[in-house]
Amino acid sequence: MAVEGGARARPERPASAPRRHHPRVTLPYELAALAAWIAVTALTVTGAVHGAHPAAPAGEPPHHHVPAHTAHGATGFGGTGGPGGLAAWALMCVAMMLPAALPALAHVGANSLRRRRQRAMGGFAAVYLVVWTGYGALLLVSAPLWSRLPGDALLAGTLALAAAWQTTVHKRRALRDCHRSSPLPLSGPRAAAGTVRFGLRHGGACLRSCWLLMAVMAAAGGAGTGMLAWMALLTGIVTAERFARRPGRTTRLAAAVLAAAALAVALTPALT
């Protein structure tokens, strides 16, 4: 049809189809991390988890032997040894470290067939948490080597080491590896093996990046709002480093925060 003035008529644009809103594939894991935080908070507030000081020598009253804030074991949560301590550590890892794994979980979900998506994501999450639970077991076994140190000195020293680690090239490389994805086979045994390999590689990179941050939790020990405050601070650092567009800047800021915390812990006994 001719148009006045010789201008060509523009074809009508087809009406855009309504967008379909899909639930986030990582939503179950976000809820799992939230549930872990609620469980840790509830166990702490109700006193179901409490610090356990090392036993005093025979004939000496415990309160004359153990200094305040002595490290309570390698769980960073309640100070209980054995399977109970390892279970507490695993729960803490779900609360603190699972949020940092959400981008990797989303990658697994987006690169898996729908019929095996949840299985693949569950397998990745299990392998990732096994890596962190193994680190907790190592801390638990090595606890007798350092748990007798004065608690304030141990915590301040661990915070200082964590601050120093944030500035190293090894930290930057590990954090870069945390941001890397991996091609995943779609089906068959190769798909399951690829998910396990990705879980091990990603968990190992995150462990290299954050091992001293989680060691702070082991050094902090204790219970109550103080432990929850340390958990919140360290979870914020780990998650910010993982989601930041410029993780290097976040890492440097975290180093400054950790160094300030180390100084505050070291000076607190002198001021009281």
**Full 3-state SS string of the chain:** CCCHHHCCCCCCCCCCCCCCCCCCCCHHHHHHHHHHHHHHHHHHHCCCCCCCCCCCCCCCCHHHHCCCCCCCCCCCCCCCCHHHHHHHHHHHHHHHHCHHHHHHHHHHHHCCCHHHHHHHHHHHHHHHHHHHHHHHHHHHHHHHHHCCCCHHHHHHHHHHHHHHHHCCHHHHHHHHHHCCCCCCCCCHHHHHHHHHHHHHHHHHHHHHHHHHHHHHHHHHCCCCHHHHHHHHHHHHHHHHHHHCCCHHHHHHHHHHHHHHHHHHHHHHHHHC
pLDDT of residue 112: 86
pLDDT of residue 116: 86
pLDDT of residue 23: 57
Q: What is the pLDDT along the chain (272 residues), one digit of tens a residue?
A: 444 444 454 444 444 444 444 458 899 999 999 999 999 998 888 766 544 333 333 444 434 333 334 334 444 444 445 556 888 899 999 999 999 999 999 999 888 888 888 999 999 999 999 999 999 999 988 888 877 777 788 899 999 999 999 999 999 999 999 888 888 888 778 888 889 999 999 999 999 999 999 999 888 865 567 788 999 999 999 999 999 888 888 999 999 999 999 999 988 765 44
pLDDT of residue 135: 95
